[in-house]
Structure 1
Amino acid sequence: MSDVVERGLVQQWHGLLARHAAVCNALEVALQERHGIGVSEFEALERLATCDHKCRSADLTEAVHLSQSATSRLVARLEREGLVQRALCEMDRRGIFVTLTEAGAQRYQEAKPTHRAVLQETIGDGDCVVCTPADD
């Protein structure tokens, strides 16, 4: 790999990290201020709302891009707030299902427009740093 190619890749990587941080920070502020939840909480609620209101813990871990232990703590917080419930899988007692409660579905529906508005403001212009070549 040439130095020019390498520099371009690193620039794109740094641009991607900066864009990700900016979008996540904007989402975090708006969701916390307006709905009392963070980005990870919203992502978990959205996953549950779009997969028949329940999914396996392992699937939720993959969807929210957290470690298994961090997802477990996230689910515990959501459960304390009455937004989700945990239940054993009847077919496999080792498996845990996380289900969305009525309050969780309502919080998701209330937060969804905020989430989408922030996405529109931050990345809706189509100017994707990953998709455009870096300036040399």
Structure 2
Amino acid sequence: MSSARSDRAPSSTDERLADEWHQLMGRYQRLMCALDRELGAAHGLTASEFEVLQQLHRADECSMRLRELGEGAHLSQSALSRLVARLENDGLLERRTCSEDRRAQYVGLTAAGRDRYADARPTQRQVLRENGTDCLARD
């Protein structure tokens, strides 16, 4: 940032944006903590693990390319790789190589993964109802 720009007083728009950002981050952190706590206690899942199971559940044939999964999971590639390895070790998903492009991998839910998602979904929705309604009231 140039020194000329940093010498200017922040605009009221800048301050409102900073305040909104702070509030958004607070809501996100509270919701993620509640999801981690409840999903972990009841189903042995983190919020991020549940999100991956949910994305796969919604995908055609409960399977998608690992790259596409990463785009929707909002995780770094290394974090996604560790998460997928944990879920694979737990028997909740499986990887397979794409037949058209041997470099690409598909990730799909196993029967146990579909069951765990189905069991955990009501818990996730309850946490969202109890903790996420303030997000709906905002413009």
Q: TM-score by structure 1 length?
A: 0.90
Q: What count of residue pairs does the alignment treat as equivalent? A: 129
- Give the Cα–Cα distance (whole angstroms) in 1 for the partners of residues 48 and 18 of structure 2: 27
1:26-37 → structure 2 map (5 Å cutoff): 26-37=34-45
Q: List runs of 5+ in structure 1 lacking aligned partners.
A: 132-136
Structure possessing the higher relative contact order (Cα contacts under 8 Å, 6 or more residues apart): 1
Amino acid across the alignment from 1:105: R
1:46-125 → structure 2 map (5 Å cutoff): 46-51=54-59, 52-125=61-134
Q: Which residue of 1 aligns with 2:137?
A: 127
- Give the Cα–Cα distance (whole angstroms) in 1 for the partners of residues 79 and 12 of structure 2: 39
Distance apart, 1:109 and its partner CA: 0.2
Post-superposition Cα deviations, 1:3-25, rounded to whole Å, max 9, x if no partner, equal 22211111001000000001111
* SS of equivalent to 1:90: coil
Q: List runs of 5+ in structure 2 lacking aligned partners.
A: 1-8
Amino acid across the alignment from 1:28: D
Task: Point out the structure with the larger helix share.
Answer: 2
Instruction: Select the residue among 31, 45, 64 that pairs with 1:23.
Output: 31
Q: State the identity as a percent.
A: 43
Q: Which residue of 1 aligns with 2:12?
A: 4
Amino acid across the alignment from 2:48: S
Post-superposition Cα deviations, 1:72-98, rounded to whole Å, max 9, x if no partner, equal 111100000000000000010000000
* SS of equivalent to 2:137: coil
Amino acid across the alignment from 2:137: D
- Give the Cα–Cα distance (whole angstroms) in 2 for the partners of residues 49 and 79 of structure 1: 15
2:21 matches 1:13: yes
Q: Looking at CA atoms only, which structure, 1 or 2, has the larger radius of gyration?
A: 2
Runs of 4+ off more than 6 Å: none
